[in-house]
Chains A and B, each alone.
Chain A
């Protein structure tokens, strides 16, 4: 157990690519928490996908031992949080487990939308905040300007901000000293009944569910019996420990400390993030304010390209869900695609991450259908249906009106791209709420329909601003609008997996864009194929994919028979990546790409 005054718990707040993970790496290295030979880039991003995409998906923790310049030994607990808006809920709950934050801003870029969003989470959690200007080794670094911007936009004192290059290691010592000297020690009472916060939990193939906890009061030892206060479930604690960043067992955790426990818990779903953990007997009666569980907002269908792989898909989805309570799924049957799952995600990145993991870790080729939000369908009889899948849209004669979720989007963008951003928001049915300036950067706030954002808004924003804009959003409300279901017919057959909900005023434009896209995405067949978009029985856009005209090997003599036969074999296998609709083969990527708009 560590003395309270020698503990500092903190997180790092930063926009993507501002160097959060590299800074964490340096703190770990500088304090010899990990031997140099075991050090790898982005120590805390443990999933391949995290390292590849340069993003953090799950919160991770590390306990660092540090001997400060005052000669005292300190224990520093870092929670590394995700930077992407999809995982904002992870950020806000991780913040509640620590007392302070390092605010990392790229001194060559300045404050971005996610810097803002995350720093607000930190402020809400009453954090002491230490500003850090990173990447001072870059020629474009301008510490004075960025410090001023932090003061203007965020409103915290930044003149004495620590100047760091996580790349070269400059400023790392000063950062460690600031953590010790400027962040508060946690409070707590070692003699009070046990009160611990369940910060996070995940599934480990060997140890079962691992629970990340923060002790508020009391002490927890191995072998004790604990009670989850929300469910009253009781478990014997098998193991307690800390992360360095790999797991290391210890005997006891005391107030102010962060660590983990395992207790033969079978599913992540048996644990509630934000729950209060206490001893089975003589426990506390005070319950911590829980967290609101994260709700999926984006839904899509996942179907195996090869229908024979449905059971494998079920298996993989169940396993992934074990570890990710924010991911929901239920079985779905599509006339076009057969058996699959309707899955709910926190956002599009979350969707892509889960899909990539299924394809990679479980080797299943997937068809992903058009992402959709949850619509509120108000029926004439006064009832309300939550519509997760456009294919389930009830008969229009029974429907009174529809409502869709709206968001408040905050976008920070350099002045020269503002026009393009405003046009993009306008095109996506946005209503401008605010437009202010911080230096040469504009901050625009838009009220937007979530369904216009969910799909490719972020990609489009990045492309029209050459990557210089940053974006964050919060859900606001459901609002009535003129929404219709648009279906797509390929060779006169409706393909339910391509149905989408669209605003009536934009239906023609969307329909046209979609059939044109499909015309390019579907390979030519031996016959011509009409591709139509329709609302109800009315066709609103039509394209015809011409029949294939030329596909023959010019030279084929005695020496070519074997090669040609093997090529046909190979092509036969390649065809499994397509799905047949009537007589038409549609490539798997067409289902998503048909929706992307190049406006």
Chain B
């Protein structure tokens, strides 16, 4: 047994002891390139997971994959190990843009991988990035229509956005990014995306995620509904309720530090913070408002913080949020302004 396998299994055991017996609704192999993992490791991990927790009847087990032939060759093995859904990072449907985005695959390779995936798994999702440098609205509309012609059940459509505190944000601040669409063009692209996907029967259920009804990612819904999730492996984040307190956990990001921490300290964890009621409230808002279904008011009121009433009124008057007896939601107009809505809701 190699060191990595030993470490993963030890971490599953550690987290299992902490959480006690629970029912798992999903497992997600993601972040980085999990499709590069040996099939055997995926198999060992899933076996240990089944020994540790009880899996629900229709437990969703997703693996993120790069669309290269090497990885597609392993799809059958992953399926036999228990994976029942793949999410493929196609990113763009034209080769020059793939190169610009730093991807190693070509469009034709991606199409082959997608076909293999569809022949292997019942559930397949892929993702695209839009509002790319020098991309026009008609170009994106055409590309999106081509993607929908592949008849996916689930699509993740990410706008290239520049955010503070990210590598892109730093490059942007240094003037290293040109040809990015204006705010108005970005908004036009976003609304065109909604319209096209609605028309093709893949409405958005979250800011960037579209699915045929019933095909939503159950795993990601746990994040957005602020449920519990354990993070296992290098750089994995978790949210766990233990003894009535909610904790944020993180493991060592660099694989080698994670590995040595697991063997030396019997734990790969680097952060374990108790999340204050106020921060739980903020996290629930920032995650939950991404969903078209919004947030159940009962979840918000179980926390001893309440949103700023005048902010809520102002946002309602501007047609950006809606509130009824059961739910707080961003409206279709409000969803692309979610960051601004959050800032407003969190005003003192």
Residues of A within 8 A of B (CB): 524, 526-527, 546, 548-559, 561-565, 567-568, 570-572, 575, 583
Cβ-defined contact, A556 with B286, below 8 A: yes
Q: B209-232 toward A: CB 8 Å interface, digit per residue (1/0)? A: 000000000001011000001010
* Cross-chain contact of A565 among B31, B207, B235, B279 (Cβ < 8 A): B279
Asked if residues A561 and B339 are in contact (CB atoms below 8 Å), the reply is: no
Q: How far does the alpha carbon of A559 sit from the alpha carbon of B238 in the complex, in Å?
A: 7
Chain A positions within 8 Å of B250 at CB level: 562
Candidate in A548, A558, A563 with the most chain B CB atoms within 10 angstroms = A558
Check A553–B338 contact: CB distance below 8 A.
Answer: yes
Q: For B314, list chain A residues within 8 Å (CB).
A: 583
Is B52 part of the contact surface with A, judged by Cβ < 8 Å? no
Q: Is the CB of B183 within 8 A of A561?
A: no
Check if A548 sits within 8 Å of B163, measured CB to CB. Answer: no
**B334 nearest CB neighbor, chain A only:** A526
B337 contacts A552, C-beta separation under 8 Å: yes
Is B78's beta carbon under 8 Å from chain A? Answer: no
Known: A556-B207, A564-B286. A526 touches B183 (CB 8 A): no
Whether B283 contacts A548 by the Cβ 8 Å rule is no
B223 touches A550 (CB 8 A): no
Contact with B163, one of A553, A559, A561 (Cβ below 8 angstroms)? A553
Most chain B CB within 10 A, of A527, A563, A564, is at: A564
Q: Is B265 among interface residues, defined by CB-CB distance under 8 A? A: no
A565 near B282: Cβ-Cβ < 8 Å: yes
B287 touches A561 (CB 8 A): yes
A526-B315 in contact (CB<8A): yes
Q: Are B286 and A549 in contact (CB under 8 A)?
A: no
Q: Does B248 contact A (CB under 8 A)?
A: yes
Complex contact B229–A568 (CB within 8 A): no
Q: Is the CB of B160 within 8 A of A554?
A: yes
B16 part of interface (Cβ distance < 8 Å): no
Docked pose: A557 CA to B163 CA in angstroms: 15
Check A562 against B346 for contact (C-beta < 8 Å).
Answer: no
User: Contact at B183–A556, with CB atoms within 8 Å?
Assistant: no
User: A524, B183: Cβ atoms under 8 Å?
Assistant: yes
The 7 residue pairs across chains A and B that have the minimum distance between CB atoms: A549-B187, A559-B237, A550-B187, A554-B158, A552-B338, A558-B223, A551-B339
A567: chain B residues at CB < 8 Å are 163-165
- Given contacts A548-B183, A559-B235, A565-B283, 19 further A-B pairs with CB under 8 A are A526-B340, A526-B341, A549-B187, A552-B161, A552-B207, A553-B161, A554-B158, A554-B161, A556-B290, A557-B220, A558-B223, A558-B231, A558-B239, A561-B223, A561-B239, A561-B248, A561-B283, A567-B163, A568-B282
A558–B237 CB distance below 8 A: yes
Which residues 151-167 in B have Cβ within 8 Å of A in the complex?
A: 158-161, 163-165
Whether A555 and B282, one on each chain, are in contact in the complex, defined by CB atoms closer than 8 angstroms, is: no
Contact (A550, B186) CB under 8 Å given A555-B158, A567-B165:
yes
| Pair B31/A559 contact, Cβ less than 8 Å | yes
B282-295 vs A: 1/0 string, CB under 8 Å? 11001100100000
B242 interface residue (CB < 8 Å to A): no
Asked whether, in the complex, the Cβ of A568 is within 8 Å of the Cβ of B207, the reply is: no
Query: Any chain A CB within 8 A of the CB of B184?
Result: yes
Set A555, A572, A583: member contacting B208, Cβ < 8 A: A555
Q: Which residue of B lies closest to A564 (CB)?
A: B286
B336:A549 contact, CB within 8 angstroms: yes
Question: Is residue B342 within 8 Å, beta carbon to beta carbon, of the partner chain?
Answer: yes
28 contacts between A and B (CB under 8 A): A524-B183, A526-B337, A526-B344, A527-B318, A546-B184, A548-B337, A550-B159, A551-B339, A552-B338, A553-B207, A553-B338, A554-B207, A554-B208, A557-B220, A558-B222, A558-B223, A558-B229, A561-B223, A561-B248, A561-B286, A562-B248, A563-B165, A565-B282, A567-B164, A567-B165, A568-B346, A575-B343, A583-B314
Interface bits B231-265 vs A (CB < 8 Å: 1, else 0): 10001111100000000101000000000000000
Q: Which residue of A lies closest to B348 (CB)?
A: A572
> Is B335 on the interface with A (CB-CB < 8 A)?
yes
Cross-chain contact B337 with A549 (CB below 8 angstroms):
yes
Instruction: Check B158 against A551 for contact (C-beta < 8 Å).
Output: no
Given known A-B contacts A556-B287, A561-B239, A561-B287, A551 and B340 have beta carbons under 8 A apart: yes
Interface residue? B75 (CB, 8 A): no
For chain B, residues 23 to 38, give those with C-beta under 8 angstroms from any C-beta of chain A: 30-31
Within 8 Å of chain A (Cβ to Cβ): is B124? Answer: no
Closest to B217 in A: A557
In the assembly, what is the distance between CA of A559 and CA of B236, in Å? 7
In the bound assembly, the distance between CA atoms of A571 and B346 in angstroms comes to 11
**When the two chains form the complex, which single residue of A553, A558, A575 contacts B339, counting CB atoms closer than 8 Å?**
A553
- Tell me, rounded to whole Å, the shortest Cβ–Cβ distance linking A173 to chain B: 49
User: Nearest-CB distance from B34 to chain A (Å)?
Assistant: 14
Q: Indicate whether B113 reaches chain A with its CB closer than 8 angstroms.
A: no
Measured in the bound complex, the distance between the Cα atoms of B158 and A564 in whole Å is 17
What is the minimal beta-carbon distance from A180 to any residue of chain B, in angstroms?
A: 56
CA distance A549 to B192 in the complex (A): 14
Q: Are A565 and B338 in contact (CB under 8 A)?
A: no
Q: Contacts A526-B315, A567-B165, A568-B343 given: A550-B183 contact, CB under 8 Å?
A: yes
CB distance from B335 to the nearest CB of A (A): 7
B126 within 8 A of A: no
| Nearest CB of chain B from residue A572's CB, rounded to whole Å | 6
Name the residue on B nearest A525 (C-beta). B340
A559 to B287, alpha carbons, bound, how many Å? 11
A156 to chain B, nearest CB (A): 51
A223 and B158 alpha carbons, distance in the complex (Å): 80
Query: Which of chain A's residues have a CB closer than 8 A to the CB of B164?
Result: 567, 570-571
Q: How many angstroms from the CA of A564 to the CA of B239 in the assembled complex?
A: 14
With both chains docked as a complex, state the minimum distance between the C-beta of A562 and any C-beta of chain B, in angstroms. Answer: 6
Q: Which residue of A lies closest to B159 (CB)?
A: A554
A153 to B347, CA, bound (A): 63
Report yes or no: A565 in contact with B208, Cβ–Cβ below 8 A.
Answer: no
**Residue B320 is within 8 A (CB to CB) of chain A in the complex:** yes
Complex alpha-carbon distance, A564 and B342, angstroms: 11
Contact B343 A571 (CB under 8 A): yes
